[in-house]
């Protein structure tokens, strides 16, 4: 599991207080990054299929609505750009039959869960395309800020290494800012 996926899981689990299931292997070398279930307040639990695509590389940090090409995905030079498109997520992370079958086994029926892409920002066109496809976009930077705010003043000791690291960073940042 990548660090960004661990951070998003910690956010869902400890800030949102959702149940999570990370890194679900599917047939055909597919994988679901994270499933989350929110039991708060609804008659029926709200379900989320969350995929992380976080890059801080200047040229590829934002999610785009540029055309996706499966052929270009297999060329080392073009792969990073292709992985930063909405259509890559639709075709490779949300639509494969193996993924849909795995989701059904976990109680995620078609049109009864929210698809989420976590990214380091996105273009206006990507935001519009995501909205058209009923995909919710989460900005990874906002997630980090929310985690920092949520745990900056808590005294709880977390055994989750990722969350503990984020908690320590938030506390250190707050103390430096107060000087």
> Which CATH number fits the domain that encloses residue 138?
3.40.1350.10
Does any domain span residue 126?
yes
Q: DSSP of 82-93, one letter per residue?
A: HTTBHHHIIIII
Domain that holds residue 91: 3-174
Share of the chain above pLDDT 70, in %: 88
Q: How far apart are CA 33 and CA 6, in angstroms?
A: 9
Q: How far apart are CA 169 and CA 167, in angstroms?
A: 5
Q: What is the pLDDT of residue 65?
A: 87
Q: What is the pLDDT of residue 138?
A: 97
What average pLDDT does this structure show over 36-47?
89
CA distances from 159 to 10, 28, 35, 163 (A): 12, 34, 21, 8
Looking at the 3D structure of the chain, how many domains does it have? Answer: 1
pTM comes to: 0.89
Does any domain span residue 67?
yes
Does any domain span residue 151?
yes
Other Cβ atoms closer than 10 A to 138? 16
What average pLDDT does this structure show over 1-5?
85
Does any domain span residue 8?
yes
Does any domain span residue 179?
no
140-157 pLDDT tens trace: 999 999 988 888 777 777
């Amino acid at each position: 599991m990548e660090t960004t996926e661990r951070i998003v899981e910690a956010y869902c689990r400890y800030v949102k207080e959702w149940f999570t299931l990370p890194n679900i292997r599917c047939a055909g070398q597919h994988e679901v990054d994270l499933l989350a279930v929110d039991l708060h307040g609804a008659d029926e639990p709200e379900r989320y299929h969350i995929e992380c695509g976080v890059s801080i590389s200047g040229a590829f940090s934002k999610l785009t609505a540029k055309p996706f090409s499966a052929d270009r995905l297999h060329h080392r030079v073009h792969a990073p750009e292709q992985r930063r498109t909405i259509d890559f997520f639709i075709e490779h992370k949300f639509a494969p039959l193996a993924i849909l079958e795995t989701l059904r086994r976990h109680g995620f029926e078609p049109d009864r869960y929210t698809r989420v892409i976590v990214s380091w920002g996105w273009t206006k066109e990507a935001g519009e395309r995501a909205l058209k496809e009923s995909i919710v976009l989460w900005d990874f930077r906002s997630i980090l800020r929310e985690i920092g705010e949520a745990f900056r003043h808590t005294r709880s000791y977390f055994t989750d290494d990722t969350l503990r690291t984020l908690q320590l960073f938030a506390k250190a940042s707050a103390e430096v800012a107060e000087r």
